[in-house]
Structure 1
């Protein structure tokens, strides 16, 4: 199970890096819930879709440095660089805790600095 979860997230990150946000969303459950600690909570695939459209003006650059899997949970750390409307790049470090239901991403708790 743990290797499967790692493969799913790696596939999702590759889809995002290529700008295929729908490819990433196909890995999420309809009721997926994303919590950006101290900031935003997104409930449902449509909310995530809208957030991606607004936030990922250009496909982000995602680097994963650590993947730790235990049961239905996968923790990923690394950095992500996003580009805003003016073309300015911002690099952030992150720690994402994903919960899986079967082969779907159902919950994200994200700590972004």
Structure 2
């Protein structure tokens, strides 16, 4: 049986694949910091929301999660996404939560590689 935290992270990644911005915004803290390694650092929920809108896909992406590891306030999800136009990206996201009771994501660090 999957833990509550693993189930949440699976749903979160599916929300990214389906551009479900409202679900994603509800999952993060007001002071979210998202580092997309080699690209940019996004700070605060307003900037985060803007970035999600810019990345949104009109059609769902195909998601494959290969590894999902949780430990305390930290978690890692590794997998791949294929865009509707066939671009294939491999990713590894590292999450830090702000606590244990009704936790929100405080930091995300994403390593994303185009593997076409």
The TM-score normalised by the length of structure 1 is 0.83
Query: Aligned-pair distance for 1:73?
Result: 0.7
Q: Which of the pair has the greater relative contact order for Cα pairs under 8 Å at 6+ separation?
A: 1
Residues 56 and 82 of structure 1 are in contact (CA less than 8 Å); yes or no, is this contact kept in structure 2? no
Query: Aligned-pair distance for 1:89?
Result: 3.4
Q: Which runs of 4+ in 1 moved over 6 A?
A: none
Residues 18 and 57 of structure 2 are in contact (CA less than 8 Å); yes or no, is this contact kept in structure 1? no
Whole-angstrom CA distance in 2 between matches of 1:12 and 1:22: 11
Q: How many corresponding residue pairs?
A: 108
Aligned to 1:91: 88
Query: Aligned-pair distance for 1:11?
Result: 2.1
Secondary structure of the residue aligned to 1:38 is coil
Aligned to 1:101: 98
Q: CA-to-partner distance for each residue in 1:23-60, whole Å, 9 max, x for gaps?
A: 12101111111001111111111212111111123243
Unaligned stretches of 5+ residues in structure 1: none
Residues 8 and 27 of structure 1 are in contact (CA less than 8 Å); yes or no, is this contact kept in structure 2? no
Unaligned stretches of 5+ residues in structure 2: none
The TM-score normalised by the length of structure 2 is 0.81
